[in-house]
Amino acid sequence: MQMSRGTLAHTLLAALAGLTLGGILLSLWTAPPEAVYQLRLAARATEAASGFVITDTASATPLLSGLPASAQQQFSGHTVAHIVYQAPDRVGDQSTSPAGLPVTLVVIGSTRYQLTAGRWYELPPSRSRGQSAADVVLFPLRAAAGASEVVRRDGQYLFLPVDLDRFTTTFFRSHVAQLSSVSVTAVVHGDYLTRERITAVHQDSRFTVDLVFTSIGAAPPVEAPSPSQIVHLPLGGAVR
């Protein structure tokens, strides 16, 4: 089964009928101001760190009634990406392409390097490339920091992004009106937001994106490959 969703990593690679989450928030209780404040502080603290590592796990599970779990696994999909962010504009991404091939990207300022078939390729520089990559990585944190509807329950923060449609198109490549059972939760540990989990149902499948933030303030450096390993592409060139 091919998943029609987009994780943070795949967004970098490409550079509701019923608003269930909103219904949950409205049907519970009015969020105490401290819940909004706590989530905002934690999200901003992670965003402001010198760097961090994200383990980005995306999965799709069919909602097929009558099938045993072993049979449902045959129709499910699962991908994992590892992203290293170093402020302000360095991003390293190790993930898997839709074809199942490993892909490594390094963005440093205006330059992007891509490892393909054992060779590093350097793309022509683009002034906003590093900032654009950083904006993608920081997007879920900024969504949490800007949330105005927050409920804290069982140690987690259930929140509603202000622009939910942009949020779902970023992670699932689907408008919110095409989805149901949308849920966004965050975990705060100490001063930092350390996890975000986004789920939604589209047609007969449940899609999940799980973002785990580690090494906050202590991420490994994002470095360019050795010059001897780099193949420079001409302007307009493409990695094949």
Share above pLDDT 70 across residues of the chain, in percent, rounded to a whole number = 76
> pLDDT averaged over the chain?
83
How confident is the model over 70-76, as a mean pLDDT?
Answer: 46
Cite the beta strand spans of 71-179 per DSSP E. 77-86, 90-96, 102-108, 111-116, 119-122, 149-153, 156-160
8-215: CATH architecture: Clam (2.50)
Tell me whether the omega of the peptide bond preceding residue 227 falls within 30 degrees of 0, making it cis.
no
Where residue 98 falls among pLDDT bands split at 50, 70, 90?
A: low
Residue 99 has pLDDT above 50, yes or no: yes
Cα–Cα distance between 164 and 142 in angstroms, integer? 13
Where residue 158 falls among pLDDT bands split at 50, 70, 90?
A: very high
Where residue 236 falls among pLDDT bands split at 50, 70, 90?
A: low
Where residue 10 falls among pLDDT bands split at 50, 70, 90?
A: low
CB within 8 A of 153, min separation 6: which ones?
A: 28
- The H or E element containing residue 133 is helix 129-145
Cα angle value 179/183/188 (rounded, 5°): 155
Cα–Cα distance between 204 and 63 in angstroms, integer? 5
Q: Picking from 4-18, 104-118, 164-178, 211-225, which range would have the lowest pLDDT averaged per residue?
A: 4-18
Residue 167 has pLDDT above 70, yes or no: yes
Q: Which of the 8 DSSP states describes residue 233?
A: P
| pLDDT higher at 197 or 128 | 197
3-state secondary structure of 217: coil
Give the strand pairing for 102-108 and 90-96.
antiparallel
Q: Quote the pLDDT of residue 96.
A: 79
Q: Quote the pLDDT of residue 120.
A: 93
Question: Which token pair is 188?
Answer: 């705060």
| pLDDT higher at 50 or 6 | 50
Taking the model in full, what pTM does it have?
0.80
Q: Picking from 19-23, 43-47, 219-223, which range would have the lowest pLDDT averaged per residue?
A: 19-23
Of the ranges 7-11, 18-22, 28-32, 66-70, the best mean pLDDT one: 7-11
Question: Which token pair is 193?
Answer: 């937001």
Where residue 11 falls among pLDDT bands split at 50, 70, 90?
A: low
Q: Quote the pLDDT of residue 33.
A: 79
